[in-house]
Structure 1
Amino acid sequence: MQRNVWLIAVGLLVILILLNNSIYYFMTKKSLEESLEHELLSLAKQIEISVEQSRLGSEQFEKQIGRELRAAAIATQYALDSDIENVTDQQLKELALQLDINHISLLKRMQDDIVLYRSSDKTQLGKSTKNWVPWHSYFQQLFRTKQVNGNWLGQTLPHFWSGPFEVSSTDVANIYKWGYYYDGTTNYIIDPYVHYEYLREYNEITGIDKLLHDLLATQKNLLEITAINPYTFPDGNITGYADGQKRDHVVQRAILFGSYQHMLSKDEEAVQQAFTQRKIVTLEEKTDNKHLFKMFVPVDVKDKGINITNYNGEPMDHYVLSIVSDYSVITEELHAQFLNIGAIVIILSLFSFSIAWFAMRQFKLSQEKAVRITQETYVEEMNSLFHAIRSQRHDYLNHMQTIHTMAELAKFTELRQYTKQLANEINTVSDVIPVDNPAVAALLRSKLSQADSFKIKFECKCSPLQMKEMSGKTLDINRILGNLIDNAFDEVLNYDENLRFVELSCGQQDNRIVIEVSNYCPHAKQLQASMLFKDGHTTKKGSHQGLGLSIVKEITDRYRGELQVYSKEKEFITFLIMIPN
């Protein structure tokens, strides 16, 4: 039985430790995830600001290229004849070389078209612009000497318009920025243009590409930063032409800046959610090689100017920034913390087991000590009873001789007094106790005898008790009675003989054994009931251990009984015990 109790206790402790560790693990995991998310959010704001600063710097550089193209166009106008028929392709090639630009083309207005009539690049000659939307309409506005106006992105200056860097309609392998100038003094539009390498070199040195490269190099947990066009993500906007060639528009490209190599299944959905709802969206997913954590941050660029458009060529007012982090950073940190806490838990668990074992051992020893003391008291009480009986038997002949002599001498008055005293002494031991349990009856008879020897007036009022079937309860009932009566005897022995009064009342009521012990105690009102039953507490002088009343309370609680302490009368204290039978 004791072994099973230990196994149950150990099992419960192990379950509690495992439950505690599981709760700690998931709480720590959640805390680390939130910490990473907050860190990425803070980093995303910094990246957003840095990217925007670099992007605006790149666009300012691109606008400066536009102004230089306009200056090159004006220089070309002064160097050439006003009639396009008097201009040669060789002149344009020499001018492009002198002005340090890639090429110069001249556009001539025909009946129903505007064509590339002269050019330093022979591949451009004779190309129609009728299908160049919206460039063709802008050329018409320039020929009417109007300020270019339209939805498409571009840079408008007096008599000049320049679009963003874009794939060439006549050479899909290259990206250029073109400028178009016409002030009415010539019969052609001057079109100087430069290659994308001008802007690429800038970005590699101090632009967005440089910024993103440095950020990824300094932040070890970052894997990728991507600026996404939510209108065209993930495929971009590819236009097919009659000659079979296809062109992916730069201003409508899906990936604005950075790279897009770490793809997740829900990327497109997350991009649209971040874009339309203008809120940060996060994803966590395992790929073949990595466990990724992605954050999609909407970036507002309204009224800031951006050379990126939707499908209709209209400027965007915000785009989406994707930041990819290695989720294994969390798991590695979590595992490291879990190993540390695991070692601490094991040490604390062993320490707790040791304390629990020591406490249970001490408790067991305390119980064994209490039982031993009770048994010793019981044996003493029985020995006292037997001693009183043997004493009376031993004195029987002496008493009979005395009675016989007094009768012969006709000392009847003295005889009555003597026999009266003798009868009282015999009744003290021989009174019938109405209890059908021999052990309990023997204890009460012993206490009666003990009270007589101590000159204590001990009244025992017991109604019939049916205790034959109590079996294991007998010892506990005797322990309660013995400790309560002894406690009362010890108290009244402190006072004169005329104040030594103890009353015991016991009986059955509503299937409960009711025990009530009262004794004289002038300071009853000052006693605290809660302290009386505390293990080791005593108000007695001498070598008393203060265990009696604590044992009574422990037994009462074990049988789910009731225990009350109160002042029945003035200067009397009463202990009432009610135990289910």
Structure 2
Amino acid sequence: MQRNIWLMAIGVIVVIILLNNTAYYFLTKKTLEDSFNEELLAHARRLEVSLEQSRRGAELFQDQIGRELRTASIAAQYALDPDIEKVTNEQLAELSQKLGISHITLLKRLQGDIVLYKSSDESQLGKSTKTWKPWYQVFNQLFDEKNASVDWLGQSLPNFWSGPFEVSSTDVDKINKWGYYYDGATNYIIDPYVGYDRQEEYEKATGVHRMIENSLQSSDSLLEIAFINPETFPDGENTIHPNGDVQGHKVQEPIFYGSYTIKSERDTELVRKAYLTKETVTLKETIGGKEIYKLFIPVFADDRGINITDRDGIPMDSYVLTLSSDYHIIQEKLDSQFLNLGVIIIVLTGISLLIAVVAMRYYRQSRDKAVRVTQETYVEEMNQLFQSIRAQRHDFLNHVQTIHSLAELNKSSELVAYTKELTGDIRLMNDIINIGNPAIAALVRSKISQAESHKIQFSCSFTGLNMKEMGVKTLDVNRMLGNLIDNAFDEVLKYDEDRRHVTLVGKQTAEDLEFTISNTCDQAEETVTKPLFDAGYSTKQQDHQGLGLSIVKSIAERYKGSVYVAAEPTGKLTFILRIPL
């Protein structure tokens, strides 16, 4: 039976260790996955910062190109006749080469329309601008000698307006930046423009493209990065011209930086969700045979001017950054770390079990030793009790003879004193015998013998004790009484023999079990103010660890009881121990 209990205890410990390690394993796994997410978010933050820097730099560069176009316009105005009819296309071609720009076009205002009237690019001649929005509105504002003011991306300077780089309406395969100048000195708008190659060179040299490439090369798991226009994703916005050409718009491109080749059916939904909720959204899905992990991160610019618009052409101040990663590589890293973690867990589990087994063995040996010592003490004290009883019976005839002799001699006073002493000894022994628990009776008898050897006047009194109904372990009662009595003996040994008084009173009621131990103490009032029940505290000079009263308190509290000390006016120190039944 005992062996089964130990096996059950070891089993419980093993289960607790395994549960603890399992919880630690999954907690560590979550921590590693969170760490990976933080790594991706750190990539995203660097990309955000780089994009904003690139965007602001590109915006300044575009503004500089716009100023150059305005300067080229003013130079062309001085070089050309103010009457558009007197200007030739050849003059415009020669002038554009001298000014280092792609082409120059002159716009003429007709009844109900504004057309490309003269140009160094013959493919532009005769094109109507009436359907160009918002360019047609800008042209009318300039002809009316007003500064251009439209709700559209662009640069407005005195008598001049320039839009962002955009797909050409006359050649959908080209992207240009146009400038429009009119100050009333001519009967036409001067329109110099340049190709996107200049801006593209700038962005490749200093912009976000290089940073995207560096991020992809420096990461084992990153596969793709894309900056998405959430309003036009995934198809963009196109315009169908009367001639049937389909014109895209650069400012409405769904992907304006990076690439988008790893596609999921849920991408559109998650891009919109990230954009509208302003919170990062994740997706883990198998795409093209690979397990892909995606992050959709909303990014908000400080101002409008990031050169993207919604489907209605309204400038936007936010976009969505998407990072696509190979989750298989991530899982390999996690598995590698989990393997190391598993080895650590196994080793720690083995060490824990070994420590538990050693501790249990040591505990069992200590317990067996304590039981053996207790049994030996019990046997010894019981032998002393029985020896005292036998001694009383053996001396009974001598006592009777002494009483008879004192009676014959009429020594009444001596007879009374002798019988009083004899009956007191017998009554004390009967009180001890009447204690319901022989082990406690033996303890009291041994303390009486100890008191006699040290010339201590030790008196005991017990009322209503029925130790079988106490609900307290005999071993624990003996430990508490033994420590309290020893503590009292140690104190009275400081005084002369005639002052060595110790009193033990025990009583049991229906509510509780109470023991009171009193002893002589000259500094009783000062003593009760000290931390007597604290482990390690002792009022004795040497060879005492200060554990006795601390043990009594801990055992009493275990049974929901209490122990406290009081100072008596008669120069006594009293300890009261109560255990509820």
Where 1:171 maps in the other structure, the secondary structure is coil
Please say if residues 69 and 193 of structure 1, whose CA atoms lie closer than 8 Å, have aligned partners that are also in contact: no
Please say if residues 232 and 254 of structure 2, whose CA atoms lie closer than 8 Å, have aligned partners that are also in contact: yes
- Segments of 5+ residues of structure 1 without an aligned counterpart are 275-280
The one-character-per-residue Cα deviations of 1:83-107 (angstroms, maximum 9, x if unpaired) are: 47xx5x7787777777776566666
Where 2:200 maps in the other structure, the secondary structure is helix
Please say if residues 370 and 551 of structure 1, whose CA atoms lie closer than 8 Å, have aligned partners that are also in contact: no
Please say if residues 230 and 272 of structure 1, whose CA atoms lie closer than 8 Å, have aligned partners that are also in contact: no
Where 2:430 maps in the other structure, the secondary structure is coil
- Paired position in structure 2 for 1:298: 300
Give the 5 Å matches for 1:18-167: 18-19=22-23, 37=41, 40-41=44-45, 44-65=48-69, 67-68=71-72, 71=75, 75=79, 82-83=85-86, 123-124=123-124, 126-135=126-135, 146=145, 149=148, 151=150, 164-167=164-167
Q: CA deviation at 1:412?
A: 0.7
CA distance in 1, matches of 2:122, 2:173: 16
Taking structure 1 as the reference length, the TM-score comes to 0.73
Please say if residues 145 and 182 of structure 1, whose CA atoms lie closer than 8 Å, have aligned partners that are also in contact: no
- Paired position in structure 2 for 1:277: none
- Paired position in structure 1 for 2:281: 283
- Paired position in structure 2 for 1:320: 319
Please say if residues 403 and 415 of structure 1, whose CA atoms lie closer than 8 Å, have aligned partners that are also in contact: no
Matched, 1:428 2:416: no
Where 1:322 maps in the other structure, the secondary structure is strand
The one-character-per-residue Cα deviations of 1:235-259 (angstroms, maximum 9, x if unpaired) are: 4331112333221123444444444
CA distance in 1, matches of 2:195, 2:330: 45
Give the 5 Å matches for 1:366-381: 367-381=367-381
Where 1:428 maps in the other structure, the secondary structure is helix
CA distance in 2, matches of 1:201, 1:429: 119
Q: Do the aligned partners of residues 37 and 95 (structure 1) sit closer, same or farther apart at CA in structure 2, a change above 3 Å counting?
A: closer
The one-character-per-residue Cα deviations of 1:188-210 (angstroms, maximum 9, x if unpaired) are: 77766554445434444455645
CA distance in 2, matches of 1:555, 1:252: 81
The one-character-per-residue Cα deviations of 1:12-43 (angstroms, maximum 9, x if unpaired) are: 45545555665666567667756865774466
Which one has the largest radius of gyration?
1
- Paired position in structure 1 for 2:458: 458
CA distance in 1, matches of 2:399, 2:157: 147
Give the 5 Å matches for 1:374-389: 374-389=374-389
CA distance in 2, matches of 1:331, 1:90: 66
Q: CA deviation at 1:48?
A: 1.1
Residue identity in the other structure for 2:465: L
Mean CA deviation greater in 168-177 or 29-38 = 29-38
The one-character-per-residue Cα deviations of 1:284-339 (angstroms, maximum 9, x if unpaired) are: 2224343233432222345xx7765555656x373436363759699888777777
CA distance in 1, matches of 2:116, 2:397: 158
CA distance in 2, matches of 1:418, 1:76: 158
RMSD across aligned C-alpha pairs, in angstroms?
5.1
Count of residue pairs the alignment pairs up: 563
Taking structure 2 as the reference length, the TM-score comes to 0.73
Mean CA deviation greater in 367-376 or 180-189 = 180-189
Q: Do the aligned partners of residues 62 and 381 (structure 1) sit closer, same or farther apart at CA in structure 2, a change above 3 Å counting?
A: same
CA distance in 1, matches of 2:187, 2:493: 138
CA distance in 1, matches of 2:293, 2:78: 57
Q: Do the aligned partners of residues 358 and 532 (structure 1) sit closer, same or farther apart at CA in structure 2, a change above 3 Å counting?
A: farther
- Paired position in structure 2 for 1:516: 516
Please say if residues 378 and 442 of structure 2, whose CA atoms lie closer than 8 Å, have aligned partners that are also in contact: no
Mean CA deviation greater in 430-439 or 221-230 = 221-230
Matched, 1:266 2:266: no
Q: CA deviation at 1:52?
A: 1.0
Q: Do the aligned partners of residues 252 and 22 (structure 1) sit closer, same or farther apart at CA in structure 2, a change above 3 Å counting?
A: closer
CA distance in 2, matches of 1:412, 1:252: 137
Please say if residues 44 and 321 of structure 2, whose CA atoms lie closer than 8 Å, have aligned partners that are also in contact: no
- Paired position in structure 2 for 1:505: 505
Identical pairs, percent: 42
CA distance in 2, matches of 1:249, 1:133: 12
Mean CA deviation greater in 455-464 or 219-228 = 219-228
CA distance in 2, matches of 1:558, 1:153: 81
